[in-house]
């Protein structure tokens, strides 16, 4: 299933980036990656009809990133096993506006949103003099990391 591959890729790419963020002191990158993880969490909790544990821009400790990422992956796997991808999920955004999307679209959004912000963080690392890690899907596939 392509969606499962994308979620596993997202988790692996996140783990690779987390390993680098632990080594560098870059508060803006940590803030943005906190957003990646909390947004993943919020979307997954919406699908499960559960109250999120985090706010969308809540800053988490870099030391907690991997545990949050692993928990998010477990939530995603639970969704893939127990929730129809065609199920409509109605939710409110931070402004209180109501929307409805299919589970499949929400999970794809999680992957896309994460990739978008990992690219921004890679730019932040490069501008700050660090070499960002390689997290491209095809590179991870070639090296049997996914």
pLDDT at 94: 84
Residues 6+ apart with CB under 8 A from 139: none
pLDDT, mean of residues 120-136 = 97
Question: Rounded CA gap, 88 and 69, in Å?
Answer: 25
The pTM of the full predicted model, rounded to 2 decimals, is 0.94
Q: CATH code at 123?
A: 1.20.120.450
pLDDT at 134: 96
C-beta atoms surrounding 140 within 10 Å: 17
Backbone angles phi, psi at 71, to 5 degrees: -65, -40
C-beta atoms surrounding 38 within 10 Å: 21
Average pLDDT over the chain reads 96
Which residue range forms the structural domain that includes residue 86? 2-142
Closest CA to 119 of 4, 14, 7, 9: 14
Contact 89, 47 (CB under 8 A): yes
pLDDT at 82: 97
Q: How many domains does the chain have?
A: 1
pLDDT tens for each residue of 12-23:
999 999 999 999
Report percent pLDDT > 70 for the chain. Answer: 100
């Amino acid at each position: 299933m392509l969606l499962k591959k994308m979620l596993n890729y997202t988790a692996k790419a996140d783990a690779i980036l987390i390993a680098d963020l632990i080594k560098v002191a870059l508060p803006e990158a940590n803030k943005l990656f906190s957003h990646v993880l909390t947004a993943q969490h919020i979307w997954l909790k919406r699908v499960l009809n559960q109250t999120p544990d985090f706010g969308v821009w809540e800053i988490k400790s870099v030391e907690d990133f991997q545990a949050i990422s692993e928990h998010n992956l477990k939530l995603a796997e639970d969704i893939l096993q127990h929730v129809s991808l065609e199920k409509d999920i109605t939710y409110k955004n931070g402004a209180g506006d109501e929307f409805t999307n299919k589970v499949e679209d929400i999970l794809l959004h999680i992957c896309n949103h994460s990739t978008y912000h990992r690219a921004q963080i890679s730019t932040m690392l490069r501008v700050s003099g660090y070499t960002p890690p390689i997290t491209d899907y095809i590179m991870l596939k070639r090296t049997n990391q996914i």
